[in-house]
Amino acid sequence: MTDDIHTLAGAYALDAVNDIERAAFTRHVAGCESCAQEVAELRATAARLADATWSAPPPGMRAAVLARATRTRQEAPGARERDRTAVAAAQRRWRRWTAAAVAAGIIAVGGAAASYAIQEQRVRDERAAAEEARAEAAAIQDVLRAPDATLRRHAASTSGTVTVVDAPSRDAAVVLLDALPTPGAHKAYQLWLGHGGAMTSAGVLAAGQTSALIPRLGNADAVGVSLEPAGGSAQPTDVVGLVALT
Amino acid sequence: MGDRARWEPGPDRPRAVDAPHADDADVLLRAVARGDESAFARLYDLVAARVFGLVRRVLRDPAQAEEVTQEVLVEIWRTAARFDPTRGSATSWMFTIAHRRAVDRVRAEQAAADRVRRAAASAADTPYDEVVERATARLEQQQVRHCLDALTELQREAITLAYYGGYTYREVAELLDAGLPTVKTRMRDGLIRLRDCLGVSVA
């Protein structure tokens, strides 16, 4: 799984990853000196691509930047060391879940959720959509980062895998459907929370949506996924995956 | 000596072919970290056109590019003490900040689907030809171009769409109709090839 995340080195150096992947990769590098060397070199290489992008700045910019600098307090030397300490601490916090989460492809969840939310709301104000997507991605990241986050994977009864990361401290869970069959026309996947065998709906996934945040877990003891008529059902008809939370 | 020979990395490479003004930028940035405002003015003169060019290329909107460029340059002033020479040159550190800020802005401002559509419409363009306003024959530009040309088409497209277009590797995969693992791998092995061609090394 180390190799798995390390293949992101090029995309990371090009800033072509989402926030969750960046965070996971940064922590990967913090614990791997040879990786840090490679990333530093690839970043330096990417920076050389800026050589080809000269463009004369607007005339007033020099004076404006210098004036802002005069008014801006600098970080004290030593910030770098504190930075590293913070990274090391963050790495310790993350180590527990990162390996498993990366193996499960969970790091993709934030990006998928963000692009889904953006697509869905294209007709609305773009800025608001981006804001919501960021909030959703942040909530997902918060669940994945929680100290008590637990990752559970179950094979779906059809094909593919249902992964649930639940964090009681956040009263929330993240669900990822990996390689499940597309629901087909007039069908959709619906999420469920189980309480001692009784199921309550936790939302219907849109076409193409493969991940979701369940914001209120309560005392649920299971997360279910079922195939339903588009629009969802009051009770699950065709359960394709049931993940116990205990 | 032909141009081709001068592009080859090696210890006897002519000084002018190396990263432009690398030493100057390193010295200036360290002075900036000590609060030297005149050093910051000289650093501005050295890098502002490239920072603005890069940010403008990613954002494509001159007004936004000006705003982000100012933020980047002030951030360089504010956080200069964080620069770690063991992790690369000063120019590399500054352009890493500039690229990241440009990408953050473009992703915040524009819905992913729209950006993918826009790129698809202009996919026929050679990305690294688009916004070079000054068609100067500067040696380092030629070197970057020469090394980009030495990549496979997929490596080059994946890298230029990500770096100049600000796309994530998922968007790049969609644009190029290629698999995610392939795109990730091409970005990494393409950058490694570029690194070797440009003779980039980090202490």
What ipTM score was computed for the predicted complex, to two decimals? 0.79
Q: What is the mean pLDDT of chain A?
A: 78
Q: What are the beta bridge partners of residue A150?
A: A166
What does pTM read for this prediction?
A: 0.58
B interface test, pick of A4, A48, A75, A80 with most B CB neighbours within 10 Å: A48
Tell me the two tokens of residue A115: 């692009």
Cβ neighbours of B142 in A, within 8 Å = none
What the block records as the tokens of A156 is 């779906």
Report yes or no: A101 and A107 within 8 Å, Cβ to Cβ: yes
Phi and psi at residue B107, in whole multiples of 5°? -75, -30
Distance CA A193, CA A173 (A): 10
Q: Give the number of A-B residue pairs with CB atoms closer than 8 Å.
A: 238
The pLDDT assigned to A34 comes to: 85
> Which of A53, A80, A119, A211 should be substituted to probe chain B, the one whose Cβ sees the most B Cβ atoms within 10 Å?
A53
Chain B residues with CB inside 8 Å of A49's CB?
A: 128, 144, 159-160, 163-164
Does pLDDT of A133 surpass 90?
no
Gap between the Cα atoms of A101 and A163, Å rounded: 10
pLDDT tier, A166 (very low <50, low <70, confident <90, very high otherwise): confident
Q: Is the pLDDT of residue A88 over 80?
A: no
CB-CB neighbors (< 8 A) of A85 in chain B: none
B118 shares contact with chain A (CB less than 8 Å): no
Looking at per-residue confidence, does A53 or B77 come out higher? Answer: B77
Chain-chain contact of A68 with B70 (C-beta, under 8 angstroms): yes
Q: Are A45 and B200 within 8 A, CB to CB?
A: yes
Contact A75 B78 (CB under 8 A): yes
What integer is the mean pLDDT of B179-183? 94
d(CA A17, CA A6) in angstroms, rounded, equals 13
Burial of B136 (0-12, 13-18, 19+ CB in 10 A): exposed
pLDDT, tens digit (0-9, with 9 covering 90-100), for B69-107: 999 999 999 999 999 888 889 999 999 999 999 998 888
pLDDT attached to residue A189? 93
Number of other CB atoms surrounding residue A184 within 10 Å: 9
CB of B139 less than 8 A from some CB of A: no
| Contact criterion met (CB < 8 Å) for B134 and A72 | no
Sheet holding A172-178, edge to edge: A150-155, A161-167, A172-178, A211-214
To the nearest whole Å, the CA of A92 is away from the closest chain B CA by 22
